Each structure stands twice: as C-alpha cells, then as structure tokens.
Amino acid sequence: MVRNGDLLVAYVEAWSLEQKKRTIDVLERVDIVAFAFSPDGAKKGCPLNHLDGRKGYITIDDALARTLRVFDEDTDELLGTYDSSDEVVAGGWKVST
C-alpha cells in the first residue's frame, strides 16, 4: 500500500492502459534510458508526471533497491513512498514521455 496519502483508489483509472503498462515496465526493469534522461535536462532520476500536474522523479538507487520514493522535481521534497510499481501508477503517477 501507499504509505503517504489516501488517494490510492482515486487515480487508478485515469492513465491509459498503455501508459500504466509502460510505467510498470520501466520501473520493474529499471530501464537505464528512462533514468538517464529527463525532458528538462535535469537528470535526477526517472521523470514522472502526476494526474494533478505535479512532476516528480524516482532515483535509480531507489529503483534498484525496490524502494520507490517519488520526489518533487523542483524542491526534491519526498512526495510518496510506494511498495511496488503498480502502487506508483495507482497513486496517480506515470513515466514522463
């Protein structure tokens, strides 16, 4: 379960099935390209978009350790910690494309 917030169920259906699958695949495989590239040039980790417009990232170290912590792209504030890539998606996040 998400250890940060109560909105897990609210976001489950919002991203397309393709976006959900891609996000889960990238996070589970720790796709090095996704972690080495960021649309804005700041390579903090795998860039993510949230349904509410926030932008975040997961570091490669966290992904390799299977500790999926999402940080705010601008402030580096911890936004949430997830137990699985499925929970990242259910929490409203997707890999930026």
Closest to 15 measured CA to CA, from 68, 66, 88, 84: 88
Q: For the chain, how many residues are written?
A: 97
Q: What's the pLDDT band for 49 if we cut at 50, 70, 90?
A: very high
Structure tokens at 73: 């792209």
Give the mean pLDDT of 54-64: 95
The total of structural domains in the chain comes to 1
Asked if the structure places residue 3 within a domain, the reply is: no
Assess if residue 2 is contained within a domain. Answer: no
Mean pLDDT throughout 5-30? 78
Q: Report yes or no on 25 lying in a domain.
A: yes
Q: What share of the chain is helix, strand, coil (3-state, %, to 5)?
A: 35, 25, 45
Give the mean pLDDT of 14-30: 94
Question: Which pTM was predicted?
Answer: 0.81
Residue 4 domain-assigned?
no
Q: What is the 8-class DSSP label of residue 18?
A: H
| pLDDT(3) > 70 | no
Instruction: Report CA torsion sign: 44, 48, 49, 50.
Output: negative
Answer yes or no: is 1 within a domain. Answer: no
48 part of a folded domain = yes
Q: Which domain holds residue 72?
A: 9-95
